[in-house]
Structure 1
Amino acid sequence: MAAWLVLAKAGSKRISEGYDDNPATHYSWDSTVPNHATLKVGDVIALWDGTELLGLSVIEDIETGQAEKETPYCLKCERADVAERKRKLPRFVCWNQVCKHEDDKAGWKTKQVITYRSRHEAGWIDARGTLSAPQLRALCVRQASQNSLRELRWNDFHHALTHGGVPLPLRVIDTTQQVIAQGHGTATIRVRKGQPAFRKHLLEVFGEVCAFTGPAPVQALEAAHLYSYAANGKHHKGGGLLLRRDLHRLFDLGLIAVNPQTKTLHLADELKKYPDYARLHGAPLTVAVTGEHVKWLTKHWDMHRPHTSVSAIPHQPSPIKSLPA
């Protein structure tokens, strides 16, 4: 498994780069950055601000493009190792250990670059307060590296997070990677062809009702597929329910599942520490479902609860009867 430590700090990257990083959702870089083409969908991405770890997730998608970029260079050695000082003068200094030229100006040239933008919102785990800068550097494959994209030793990084002073459960990372590998990774953030019509159909069938919590503002409801849309490629009429955005994401990640026999909610243990979610454990669906829905819910259950028998969970009868298939 590949894991990357990436720097997300205002002003930390080179002059004029203009990135729009948002640690919890996306990260941007271009082909002037070492290791630029090495990051892949399914890799772990850990973001830090130069001081501490901010959080980590799994790369769901990488968008690429092309752009023109102005890059500075040293007027003496003509290398692109130029940093802009905030306080000390002269304003520019060359990073090259042989040159170290200081100047009030820098040279500039325009070049074509490949742009990259990762998306990693679904599996984001906030990790502030867990690992410091020295600890993170020690976990890199090349500990002395100054690159913005640095490869981590995944096993050691995982152990440091789960056995450190502030243990961090990483099950969501494992689940997200599994879901992405099975073609279901961007369900919570991608707008897919036919999705508006699919949502409209669900609103006509169920009304403005979240299937897990009941009536909700229409603006908060999303059309949730009960199956892997990316792998299946179709919008099945019996394959969707309306869910609140947060519950949609948790369902996609398997942190919430529906017992297909009892039609009650089953929460992963890490959600039960949050009162608002904990009360949903064992709660019945708030809408009537068909046999087609149950078929897809069974597939979802088998994927995310492979070692949990549906018959082993106490039955809590729902006051709402299922519609005929």
Structure 2
Amino acid sequence: MGLGDITADAVSTAMAEHDRLGLIEFCNQHGFDRFRNYVIADDTRRYGTRVITAAAHGRLPGQVPLTPPEVADDDLVNQLLEGLGFEVRELRPPKWTREELTLACSQLFSNDRVAQRVNDPAVQHLAAFLRRLPFHAPQDRGLNFRSVNSVQRKLFDLGTRLPEYKGKRTRGGALDEVIIGEFLADEAEMHRRAAAIRAEHEPKAWALFSAERKHDSDAGSSGVLGSSFVYDNNFSRSQELREGHVVVIHDDEDVLGIARIGRIDHEDGQAGVTKYVAYYGGTWRAVDGAISSDDLKDASTDMAAHDVIKPLDIDKVEAMLARVAVSLPSQAAEARSVAKIRSVRRIVTGKDVRGGEDDGVAPTGGRREIKAKARKGQDKFRKKLIQRYGHVCAITGRCPAEVLQAAHLRSFAEHETHNLDEGVLLRADVHLLFDSGLLAVDPTTRRVVLAPSLSTYPHYTQFDGAEFAVGPSEKAITDHFLAVTGAWIGQQGGNQEGL
């Protein structure tokens, strides 16, 4: 069966289910987000065309609901629904709020009251910022919500309300003239209001301190490294953390990892103490000492000596991570991944997966559940290599910290020394090939060569001829090459077991 087999009765049944569960519950159950470009209009109710069509397919005999990619073609979905007698409408972007117009007017007045074009970076930045604001629910945003073109048009609309404009006014909105009037009356105050809106909603990053409890003041700070951070309202700035904020987890010595908060739960306790659990496991990226806690101070905006929660400059955090080949977790990618995983889990388990069902009971009391340093294979040698090369395998490129291992160009068992110039970072499987004498580096070209026995493994033959990292000792590379390749061609002295 395909889309063409969906019936009007199946669609109506899906709409009834939507009414019973509500929009959020219905979308979560079927693995969809709440963004809708087109809706079925039924009196005053609105139903997203894609999710309704996907659910309707599951109402057919012997069929299951469709996934988001299977109903991604709006034209095909809309044609089907209209053919079944349903009214389909494009969801128009919502009206501009006072806050949005204040930001737009601030931009206009900052540019000598001249509306900038779509290719102007300031307009592009404003559009991106407006799309991040929480004033409109995702299901109400519609197609092209605060696109660069729509923002440029609004700047022009506002410009036609200025007293010096002599042309014909555009249609705009009634609030446009009100906000323009407020800027004309007190421009400095309105710019301050715009700055306050930006300060409240700009992307934020936080340094969260994680270590074994040393003082009574540490009570309330716990969690599970790589999954959650537990804190309470006794901590300074505890009320400022929000879903979507970036968090950098560190201890006394190192940055352990970075993530983006996906959800914050709270639980009221005794004596007015509220415990919070910030979950971030979906975007956790281990850093494993590539950045020190001292380095993190360069990104701070207020590193008070004993604060567990400290604000960071997110641009500096991003630049710091880029130097070690780690990128900020993507909020949009996480949302798509969560929706997909929920859909699959619902099919596998036969249960709806919502909220924190998989996270178990939030930690309570002062009990510490932190795993302060989950350092698989971590030692000082590996840490120094990560600080030198970042999270980059010398052959395959950027890698998650969890699969990067410290490799010796000369056998440690033979020399028992950790010479940094004779060490490289290698992905775990590549490291095994390297130590097994199945991979070497041509010292004349610094490109990878593979043992003939790997020629039937396409996953690894792609690395034949790959450029090797710059930095390791040329003599160590040469010695390793001669020993390994000698074994391949049957030369004596090329015993790979001695590597």
Scaled by the length of structure 2, what TM-score is found?
0.29
Greater fraction of residues in strand: 1
Scaled by the length of structure 1, what TM-score is found?
0.43
Which has the higher relative contact order, 1 or 2, with Cα contacts under 8 A spaced 6 or more apart?
Answer: 1
Give the greater-gyration-radius structure (CA): 2
Greater fraction of residues in helix: 2
